[in-house]
Structure 1
Amino acid sequence: MQPRQRTAIDDDASCGTAYHTPKVYPWRCGPECGLDLLLDSVSTVLEEAQLPLRPVIKASHLMEMLNAAHCYIPCIGYSIASDSALLSVILDKAACYLHSIHSRLATRLVRRINDVEMWRWSTRCILADSFFFVMDLYSDFPVVSHSIADFNQRTKAAHNTCQSAFMQVTLSGEYEEEGETLQVLVDTNRNLVEEDEVLQVDRDIDSCLGISDHILIDAPISVWTIPPGYLALKASIHLTREIIHEGTRYDVPYHHIPNFELGTFGQRCQLNVFFPRLWTPDHSKFEQPWFIKEEKRAFWYEHGIRPAIAALLGDHIASQWPPTFQTEQLRAAKSTSANPGWSTKMIPREAVGHFADAIRTKFDLDVFIDDEDRYWASQFFFLHTIRGVKDTTRHNVNQLAADLALDRFVNFSHLVTNHHLRGEWYVDVAIEISSPRHQCLQWSTQSHCSVVAEALRISNGHASRVTQLSSSKYSRDIVSHLSAVSGFRITPGPQAEGEFEAVYIQAYTTDKTLTSNNEKGHHAKFIEAKDALGQLHPPTVVSALYDI
């Protein structure tokens, strides 16, 4: 196989022109080929249009052209447009004036991809105008509009007739009828819920986050005698904290601040302690920015936690706690297992509210520690994470029911009476829409703007701005490769947060509860290419999904 020559795009930020540097790449198989194909096509289309690439234009503008251009690979159904890692390479290199030349360039791009000889047999690119939500399909065959049910019936009929016909209509939308080849256009507007349709609407409090300098729990807490380093806040909670480092202010995601789990309370609620003075700008480059080294965790226990327990509960209670970090490591080690048996101790309700100040006092009065250690060890705060309460406060959507549900939630979570005056609290409030007729409901992409405006009580202008594909605060979760059917995730920002000061809003479907499983960066059950192309067909995961 001969290598091919690919035109790579390099941007010169100083003059805003594009340089096309020939590079040689060998043929490859798999999704990487799709990336090369798109890079080639974008480069060629822009070159033919004689348009310069200007680095000052946001790369996300290109999303308008590529978002709905799904490349379907037989047997895998791999969608290049849904892979942000692959798209980011294209977006960073091929920013252009999409707002004014969207249709022309998009059509050229799709035509260019479908004309590539290698991909003629395996790829069908479908372009949808993401603004008007009308499928502008590039096809040589007459287009026939289908509802989702029509398309399912079409594929089922092909499956019962011929495997090759089933593959053809499923992957490309092409089918034979009365000797003529036709092209499916899935028109989701035919499946829109009627305005007079009766729907069930409920509200629920799913979880709560509380940030404060003290533990605001009116109940006993269970504390790790030696905090394990692997128990920490490792994932984003969509919140940032301002940290001043060497005179410069930074907005730092909480999961990038060094922290560990101090203990638990209630059924599934956690307490994490954070040390902002251990954070540096370099932490954003770390693989585990949240991790605190063993010597610092040992220092905080031996000079803070244990002395505070002695001051609050007496030496006779403190004597039951490990005298040093190493003592607990020795006790927890197991000869038959690599996993240590870390222990926890209870702190009674009466002492919980004074625990944080007792730790700070011990660091302030300890003359045997240096100022640098005192500085980071005494500057800490807590994150209260209240979970496991979903469906316990489900209520009707009205003010009285909401107030009663919030009171029940506070009591159930064992929060102190004046907790809302002593910290920052964020409540995850869910609105669930369901069909009494047991219909399967999905979010319409064209409704995103109005949903955000209604939920946050903001103007249509602000809602429109944060639901544009060019907005870095907005992400779509496309369903079944149908660009007109999608949920969304939005970080509104100060201008669009509304009267509720919302920091995050998401629209999704509850079917995730049946497939939810965090593994390898995925949030639900998934299938890898090696399994899809393996000897067992259908794969076990796919077979099990049919039973859901």
Structure 2
Amino acid sequence: MQLEPPDEDLPAIQVSLSEFVSAAEQMFTPDQLENFLRFVLAGRLQSHDKLVRIFLNARQGALAPPISKFQVYRDIDSVIGITQDLPFRLPMAIFPLASFRDTLTEDNHLKCSLSCAKNVIGVSLHRIPNMALGKVDRRHITRIFFPGLYCQGQNPAIPPDTMTLIYEKCLRPAVVSLNPVDRSRWPITYSAAMNLYRDLKGQFHFSTIDFPSNLLDQLGPKLLEMFQIQDGLQDAFFVHELRGTKGASHHDPSNAGARRTALNTVFHFFDMSLVRPEDWVVDIGLEIQHEGHVLQWLTKGHLQYRIISHADWNNLVFKRYFPAKGASTVKALQHFPSASYYRQWHALMDRLDEDKAEIIQNDLMQWFNELYWVPHPESDRMWSTKKGGKEWIMLPPGEQRNCPHIAVNSRFIDKDAAVVLVVGTSERQH
């Protein structure tokens, strides 16, 4: 009998010890001898006309430890609100020319009910044409959505002529009518705004103009009123998204006062008298800690990795984790500013002169070069979970999906080595 190689790309099933023994006993019959040997010796199982790999997890199905043995913390990762107003108590920085990169193009798991051809369907928000309106906080964005422009199967991007209509007939007139003192700061036409915010190389720089907080309660209804009289812009609504708050609102989930304080911290710039709870979705994260232990999940995880060259490891990865003294900070930076080490590193760099700062950074790089891997830092965040391109490798092998990105140090990888995913540790396989 010939068995397949042990590392073929197959779907995986994780089983407990009792499940493995029970299945093996059922196969231990003369007519299933080949299946029995494949199962117990090669970890292969014929399931629903497909061959799958079996991973034995001795902790699968194990009882959780008593609650007194570990600590659970809660954190508010993000909040999203769908409203007909602008419920803020701080000035809003409004884009005269909507920032293209702030358009919602990825699924945030929220849907909107739309009536299409007499049928009501739930459409993911990122499929509905939308544009950035402005920001109140560094991690906040308010967008305007236009369900009247939605057409199933078509690109949700708003055409240039419609953007011109939005700016010249709605956005600028609404802002100027409520705050005429800023009339000169708003370009007369959309094309003038395009020219103003584009440099000689053709690159756009999306500046904002602050709008007073005491007039925001009038601006929201005014905009929707003007949209309502324009073909295709009817039934518009606002979506407010606050992301990347992880680490800023840790609290004990069993403490009602701590829960309230955390929520107030995240909503600090919202006018709570205008906030209706039914309009909002709050994404809650749980952090489980057990002193002196590494917690292991009973389900298999996925990640994507790239092997990073020596030069990129030092000049790209390292310098994003430990930027040089005086290095410019990306405005949209997430995760890093909330990390204690990052704040301490910046404080250290601020105290040192340039020569000493460079010496400290070079010394630290020697330690950093001994790491096998780190979360792959993007230009705007520490953790990215987007689907990777061809240069990314999935672990375990399989179809590309949204999962964490890992940067692997090429100093520890040679042509005969492969990266493998082992529960609870890291390992190289030769």
Please, what TM-score do these two structures have when normalized by structure 2? 0.61
Map 1:292-331 → 2, pairs under 5 A: 292-314=158-180, 316-331=181-196
Q: Give the equivalent residue in structure 1 for 2:330.
A: none
CA distance in 2, matches of 1:214, 1:513: 42
Map 1:254-273 → 2, pairs under 5 A: 254-273=125-144
Q: Kindly state the Cα deviation for residue 539 of structure 1 after the two structures are TM-superposed.
A: 7.5
1:212 to 83, 86, 95: 83
* 1:342 pairs with 2:199: no
Q: Which amino acid aligns with 2:251?
A: H
Contact 2:84 2:220 (8 Å CA) reproduced: yes
Q: Give the equivalent residue in structure 2 for 1:19.
A: none
CA distance in 2, matches of 1:196, 1:522: 31
Q: Kindly state the Cα deviation for residue 250 of structure 1 after the two structures are TM-superposed.
A: 0.8
Q: Which amino acid aligns with 1:320?
A: R
Contact 1:269 1:384 (8 Å CA) reproduced: yes
Contact 1:229 1:292 (8 Å CA) reproduced: no
Contact 2:227 2:236 (8 Å CA) reproduced: no
Q: Give the equivalent residue in structure 2 for 1:180.
A: none
Contact 1:217 1:416 (8 Å CA) reproduced: yes
Map 1:237-256 → 2, pairs under 5 A: 237-256=108-127
2:7 to 70, 73, 88: 73
Q: Kindly state the Cα deviation for residue 279 of structure 1 after the two structures are TM-superposed.
A: 1.2
The structure with more radius of gyration? 1
Q: Kindly state the Cα deviation for residue 304 of structure 1 after the two structures are TM-superposed.
A: 0.5
Change (3 A) 1:418 1:72: farther
Q: Give the equivalent residue in structure 1 for 2:74.
A: 203
Deviations 1:64-109 (A, max 9, x none): xxxxxx99637xxx45459xxxxxxxxxxxxxxxxxxxx88xx98x
Change (3 A) 1:127 1:309: same
CA distance in 2, matches of 1:524, 1:276: 33
2:263 to 378, 382, 406: 406
* 1:332 pairs with 2:197: yes
CA distance in 2, matches of 1:433, 1:114: 38
Contact 1:223 1:263 (8 Å CA) reproduced: yes
Q: Give the equivalent residue in structure 2 for 1:354.
A: 218
CA distance in 1, matches of 2:239, 2:291: 39
Q: Which amino acid aligns with 2:173?
A: P
Q: Give the equivalent residue in structure 2 for 1:524.
A: 404
Change (3 A) 1:355 1:113: farther
Q: Kindly state the Cα deviation for residue 306 of structure 1 after the two structures are TM-superposed.
A: 0.6
Contact 1:229 1:294 (8 Å CA) reproduced: no
CA distance in 2, matches of 1:513, 1:205: 24
Q: Give the equivalent residue in structure 2 for 1:444.
A: 298
Q: Kindly state the Cα deviation for residue 196 of structure 1 after the two structures are TM-superposed.
A: 7.0
CA distance in 1, matches of 2:235, 2:216: 18
Change (3 A) 1:348 1:538: farther
Q: Which amino acid aligns with 1:335?
A: L
Contact 2:420 2:427 (8 Å CA) reproduced: no
* 1:392 pairs with 2:248: yes
Q: Which amino acid aligns with 1:294?
A: P
SS of 2:275's equivalent? helix
Q: Give the equivalent residue in structure 2 for 1:499.
A: none
1:435 to 261, 276, 290: 290
Paired-residue identity, %? 21
* 1:426 pairs with 2:281: yes
Contact 2:375 2:407 (8 Å CA) reproduced: no
CA distance in 1, matches of 2:37, 2:271: 62
Q: Kindly state the Cα deviation for residue 201 of structure 1 after the two structures are TM-superposed.
A: 1.1
Change (3 A) 1:513 1:420: farther
Q: Which amino acid aligns with 2:297?
A: W
Deviations 1:199-258 (A, max 9, x none): 011122221111101111111111111114443111222221111123211111111111
CA distance in 1, matches of 2:250, 2:68: 23
Map 1:39-118 → 2, pairs under 5 A: 73=7, 78-81=9-12, 111=35
Please, what TM-score do these two structures have when normalized by structure 1? 0.49
CA distance in 1, matches of 2:36, 2:407: 30
Q: Kindly state the Cα deviation for residue 305 of structure 1 after the two structures are TM-superposed.
A: 0.7
Change (3 A) 1:217 1:539: farther
Contact 1:264 1:271 (8 Å CA) reproduced: yes
SS of 2:108's equivalent? coil
Change (3 A) 1:197 1:189: farther
Q: Give the equivalent residue in structure 1 for 2:357.
A: none
Contact 1:71 1:80 (8 Å CA) reproduced: no
Contact 2:302 2:403 (8 Å CA) reproduced: no
CA distance in 2, matches of 1:211, 1:431: 25
CA distance in 2, matches of 1:276, 1:79: 42
CA distance in 2, matches of 1:271, 1:194: 43
Q: Give the equivalent residue in structure 2 for 1:416.
A: 271
SS of 2:185's equivalent? coil
Deviations 1:244-295 (A, max 9, x none): 1232111111111111211111121111110011113x2xx34x43x21121
Unaligned runs of 5+ in 2: 14-25, 304-372, 377-382, 390-400
Q: Report the number of matched residues.
A: 310
Contact 2:72 2:288 (8 Å CA) reproduced: yes
CA distance in 2, matches of 1:112, 1:327: 75
Change (3 A) 1:363 1:195: closer
Map 1:224-239 → 2, pairs under 5 A: 224-239=95-110
Q: Give the equivalent residue in structure 2 for 1:506.
A: none
CA distance in 1, matches of 2:219, 2:109: 28
Deviations 1:373-397 (A, max 9, x none): x142242111111123222221112
Q: Kindly state the Cα deviation for residue 514 of structure 1 after the two structures are TM-superposed.
A: 3.7
Contact 1:270 1:384 (8 Å CA) reproduced: yes
Q: Kindly state the Cα deviation for residue 192 of structure 1 after the two structures are TM-superposed.
A: 6.1
The CA RMSD over aligned residues, in Å, is: 4.2
CA distance in 1, matches of 2:159, 2:73: 45
SS of 1:219's equivalent? coil
Q: Which amino acid aligns with 1:277?
A: G
CA distance in 2, matches of 1:377, 1:421: 25
SS of 1:354's equivalent? helix
Q: Give the equivalent residue in structure 1 for 2:345.
A: none
CA distance in 2, matches of 1:249, 1:400: 41
